[in-house]
Chains A and B, each alone.
Chain A
Amino acid sequence: MSLEHDHSAPGKDDLIAARVKALEAILVEKGLIGSDAIDYMSSVYENEVGPQLGAKVTARAWVDADFKARLLADATAACKELGIGGMQGEEMIVLENTDEVHNIVVCTLCSCYPWPVLGLPPNWYKYPAYRSRAVRDPRGVMAEFGFELPESVEIRVWDSSAELRYWVLPERPEGTDGFSEEQLAALVTRDSLIGVTAALSPDAVTAEV
């Protein structure tokens, strides 16, 4: 078990839950938050805004060279064409993977992440191990996700220290000629959009069915 999951102090989760309820009670009584607002916004990120949106944009870029050119030139505007954008992704920059270049995104100082295309970040992205190692040991980090690249491929790490939000356009997997956008999107994982892995191969997906 990792350091950050080790809630060794007894009752720590209970204490936090109680403290959040206490703060929520204060904010509700002061009219600064609504229970309906909590339900609404949490539901948006649980059900509507998540990595399936980044996958949709990626699949479109794989089948439409003009869209891909627009996405790489101005990701914010290109995503807006598909109705995608907003909070924590006001200005997005997409980084293209090729045979020679592989990109990977991190925020070493906090946990900046492109919410409009990936939703809320997973815990590992927010915790010290990834934030410390991605800039210094990107090959070791990728290896932990089961992904290894030859040394001839240049790794480009992007540390999101300002309000620009970076994400990765993975390479289109081989063996996907004639795939529909929907079939292609199913190969695009959250991790491939962060850059810790590649997109799935079609074999990996059919093997699961």
Chain B
Amino acid sequence: MDGVHDLGGRHGLGAINPEPDEPVFHYDWERSILVMFPAMAMAGAFNLDQFRSGMEQIPPAEYLQATYYEHWLHSMIHYGTEAGIIDPEDLQRRTQHYLENPQESAPKAAKPDMVATLEQLIPTGDDYRRETDAPAKYDVGDTVRVLPQVSTTHTRRAGYVRGRVGEVVAAHGAYVYPDSNALGLGEDPHHLYTVRFTSQELWGDEPGAANSVVHIDLWEPYLTSA
């Protein structure tokens, strides 16, 4: 999707403004939403690629203005509704209640099995690498061009490299293919490569990119020989 989330190389988005001594959480609700991610994924509401796809469906002006966890909230409500976990009218009614009673907390209940699952999951994570019989089409050192077309659905084929020529610098084996997985079409593993682009190829002689290269990870269907 050629959306506003695809930010690499865009102009006009201002200064970085790092916050000195930034806390891990700025609001108490950020603690809750962090943990809703594994909770809703375990409930089958979304996979990781669907979750990212949900954030890309935020209206563009809102996407640029919202905080990151608001992006999360948007995606959770989108997929939670689709999965039948959330009734939007119920969510709205409850939201109004907490707006009118801001001192009231959400109800508390323990779920020791989820704590046990997280104790396992946090130090191990998930595995996205998949075995495949398909041979890798490209080798390290090959010159490739990123195909210019793009779907209107989720992809990691970033706009700033589409149509550009780079060199394969690593071949990683096959991984879950986000373009299919985000649509619920299965994992559809494809070979993944790290491709290096010169700043000259991407940005000509712009001074901010002088003597620089950009690497990005690209799946085989994004590429063609050049």
A positions within 8 Å CB-CB of B: 2-6, 13-42, 44-46, 49-50, 85-91, 106, 108-111, 116, 119-120, 122-124, 126-133, 135-141, 144-145, 151-164, 191
Residues of B close to A88: CB separation below 8 A:
125
> Measured between alpha carbons, how far is A167 from B122 in the docked complex, in Å?
19
Q: Are B98 and A21 in contact (CB under 8 A)?
A: yes
Task: Please judge, given known A-B contacts A26-B85, A41-B38, whether A17 and B27 are in contact too, CB under 8 Å.
Answer: yes
Interface size of B as a range: 35 or more
Q: Are B106 and A126 in contact (CB under 8 A)?
A: no
Residues of B close to A157: CB separation below 8 A:
212-215
Contact for A135 among B13, B64, B86, B214, CB less than 8 A: B214
Q: Are A161 and B216 in contact (CB under 8 A)?
A: yes
Answer yes or no: B187 CB below 8 A from chain A CBs.
no
Task: With both chains docked as a complex, state the minimum distance between the C-beta of A128 and any C-beta of chain B, in angstroms.
Answer: 4
Q: Mark B99-133, 1 if CB is under 8 A from A, else 0.
A: 10010111111111011001101111111110000
Closest B residue by C-beta to A20:
B29
Interface of B is mostly: mixed
Task: With both chains docked as a complex, state the minimum distance between the C-beta of B164 and any C-beta of chain A, in angstroms.
Answer: 12
**Which 5 pairs across A and B sit closest by C-beta, in order of nearness?**
A34-B111, A137-B208, A108-B8, A22-B94, A42-B31
Residues of A close to B77: CB separation below 8 A:
23
Closest B residue by C-beta to A6:
B65
> Measured between alpha carbons, how far is A17 from B105 in the docked complex, in Å?
10
Contact for B10 among A4, A120, A132, A155, CB less than 8 A: A132
Answer yes or no: B226 CB below 8 A from chain A CBs.
no
Task: With both chains docked as a complex, state the minimum distance between the C-beta of B205 and any C-beta of chain A, in angstroms.
Answer: 12
Q: Are A162 and B217 in contact (CB under 8 A)?
A: yes
Q: Are B125 and A86 in contact (CB under 8 A)?
A: yes
Closest A residue by C-beta to B23:
A46
> Measured between alpha carbons, how far is A20 from B17 in the docked complex, in Å?
27
B positions within 8 Å CB-CB of A: 5-11, 13-19, 22, 24-29, 31-36, 38-40, 42-43, 52, 55, 64-68, 70, 73, 76-77, 80, 85-86, 90-91, 94-99, 102, 104-112, 114-115, 118-119, 121-129, 156, 158, 160, 172, 175-176, 192, 194, 202-203, 206-219
Q: Are B39 and A27 in contact (CB under 8 A)?
A: yes
Closest A residue by C-beta to B37:
A41
Q: Are A17 and B98 in contact (CB under 8 A)?
A: yes
Residues of B close to A32: CB separation below 8 A:
39-40, 42-43, 85
Task: With both chains docked as a complex, state the minimum distance between the C-beta of A150 and any C-beta of chain B, in angstroms.
Answer: 9
26 A-B pairs with C-beta separation under 8 A: A2-B15, A3-B64, A6-B65, A18-B95, A19-B95, A23-B80, A28-B107, A31-B109, A33-B35, A34-B114, A35-B110, A37-B118, A46-B25, A90-B125, A91-B129, A122-B18, A124-B18, A132-B7, A135-B214, A136-B203, A139-B207, A141-B16, A155-B209, A162-B172, A163-B176, A164-B192
Task: With both chains docked as a complex, state the minimum distance between the C-beta of B163 and any C-beta of chain A, in angstroms.
Answer: 15
Task: With both chains docked as a complex, state the minimum distance between the C-beta of B12 and any C-beta of chain A, in angstroms.
Answer: 8
Q: Are A28 and B212 in contact (CB under 8 A)?
A: no
> Measured between alpha carbons, how far is A45 from B38 in the docked complex, in Å?
14
Residues of A close to B104: CB separation below 8 A:
21
Q: Are B16 and A162 in contact (CB under 8 A)?
A: no
Residues of A close to B90: CB separation below 8 A:
26
Task: With both chains docked as a complex, state the minimum distance between the C-beta of B168 and any C-beta of chain A, in angstroms.
Answer: 14
Q: Are A124 and B8 in contact (CB under 8 A)?
A: no
Contact for B115 among A3, A36, A109, A130, CB less than 8 A: A36
Q: Are B17 and A152 in contact (CB under 8 A)?
A: no
Task: With both chains docked as a complex, state the minimum distance between the C-beta of A196 and any C-beta of chain B, in angstroms.
Answer: 8
Q: Are A163 and B40 in contact (CB under 8 A)?
A: no
